[in-house]
Amino acid sequence: MVISDRLAQIPDSYFGKTMGQKVEHGPLPLINMAVGIPDGETPKGIIDCFAEALREPSNQKYGAFHGKETFKQAIVDFYKRQFEVSLDPEDEVCILYGTKNGLVGLPTCIVNPGENVLLPDPGYTDYKAGVLLADARPQSLVLEPPYYLPQWDKVNRDILQNTKLVYLTYPNNPTGSVATHAVFDEAIAQFKGTKTKIVHDFAYSAFGFDEKNPSILQSEDAKDLAIEVFSLSKGYNMSGFRVGFAVGNKDIIQAMKKYQSHTHAGMFGALQDAAAYALNHYDSFLDKQNETFKRRRDMFEAKLKAANIPFEPMKGGIFLWLHTPPTYDGEAFVQYLLQKQSILVAPGIPFGEHGKNFVRISLAVDDASLETAVQRIQDLKHLYA
């Protein structure tokens, strides 16, 4: 096999390895709750805009490397409208061909070999790959139940002093925990005046069940050291479009734009037109998405409580963090659910060492399948006794 030493040191992506693979399951119809692909359709207006934009001659040629003015302005207007955050469209906005590209590429843009990068544990699986590709050192930012929030005083001081970048993600994937303005204020205060930067992965921004999720950029002085990465995939049911953006600290944004100018030649213009249309016209759709997943959360948690099956309270996002039975770790319980109940979920261990005794359940399935799935899980209450 021909592979560089740097790439060889990185474990295979869990979802890259498993998505699309044939699954051997038990006798019941399979219910796939392993991935966070929204089950609803992209709104018709966005599809119509995309179809029309495909026929636009200017979109059939190379475009500006760093994006259309119309798309960047839509991002600026959206952040002002939703969060009362002002942005400069040229200096503080970077368009991303999928937020994963930005989150994985970021360490290469701003982190030097040997410097520490703090990664949430539990947290999204592929942050670590970006750190290793940059020859940097991944360090765990342990998030403890029930709130799964940073506790800076528990991080080793030597590690903190050599930390160049911190990843945060709220609503948290996989735990469903959320952050308040105070949490972000504390993070900014912790690192203001140091060399440490912060990236907040805001992929599940639309889903806050008790109150609206705050942006880290709402905190005072946040743009001195932080960026936020926003995805259109979940809130707008646009996961196949692969469109997102980063906003915030201008130095980080410019580094990301320089990196992108060498790795790809800009985003397809029709995608930008569709994304701009979504941002400009579908605020109410985000509210409906939130209502849908709040209703699903309420039903699912109530059924688990009735069966005395333990889980972590889901305050936002689209995933529920379920404890495994006492005699199972996450990987063993995934196989048990698959063979006995024909339910596919994700094991907790890819999300960090502190996910060993959990599985992640996606609520991004239709309501009928969700009802069936929770009934099948209720039938396993004897395993938790």
Euclidean distance between the first and the last CA atom of the chain, given in angstroms as a whole number:
48
Q: Is the pLDDT of residue 318 over 90?
A: yes
Sheet with 358-362, edge to edge strand ranges: 319-323, 358-362, 346-347
CA distance 265 to 313: 43
Query: In angstroms, rounded to a whole number, what is the distance separating the alpha carbons of residues 7 and 59?
Result: 35
- Average of per-residue pLDDT across 283-306: 97
Find the range with the poorest average confidence among 13-17, 33-37, 92-96, 178-182.
13-17
Above 90 in pLDDT, residue 16?
Answer: no
Mean per-residue pLDDT, 296-324: 97
How much of the chain, in percent, has pLDDT values that exceed 70?
98
Q: How far apart are CA 316 and CA 206, in angstroms?
A: 9
| Region 23-41+284-384: CATH code | 3.90.1150.10
206 contact partners, CB below 8 Å, separation of at least 6: 213, 234, 235, 286, 289, 290
**Closest C-alpha among 299, 274, 187, 169 to residue 230:** 169
Which whole number is the average pLDDT over 49-76? Answer: 90
Alpha helices in the chain (DSSP H): 5-8, 14-18, 44-54, 69-83, 99-110, 127-133, 157-161, 181-191, 250-263, 269-281, 283-306, 330-336, 367-378
Question: What pLDDT, on a 0 to 100 scale, did the predictor assign at position 246?
Answer: 97
Which of the two residues, 349 and 36, has the higher pLDDT score?
A: 349
28 against 38, higher pLDDT: 28
Report the chain's mean pLDDT, rounded to a whole number.
94
Q: What is the DSSP letter of 150?
A: -
Domain 23-41+284-384 and domain 44-282, same fold? Reply is no
What does the pLDDT average to over 90-116?
95
Element at 9 (helix H, strand E):
none
From 204, 206, 274, select the one nearest 242 (Cα to Cα): 274
Distance CA 271, CA 21 (A): 28
30 — pLDDT class (breaks 50, 70, 90): very high
Rounded CA-CA distance 313/321 in Å is 8
Q: In the Cβ-directed half-sphere of 5, how many Cα atoms lie within 13 Å?
A: 1
Domain boundaries, the chain: 23-41+284-384, 44-282
Spatial distance between the Cα atoms of 31 and 373, rounded to a whole number of angstroms: 7
**Per the structure block, which two tokens stand in for 235?**
């809130």
Residue 199: how many other CB atoms lie within 10 Å: 26
The domain over range 44-282 is classified in CATH as 1.10.10.10: no
Please state at what angle helix 44-54 crosses helix 269-281, rounded to 10 degrees: 150
Quote the pTM value.
Answer: 0.95
pLDDT number for residue 90: 95
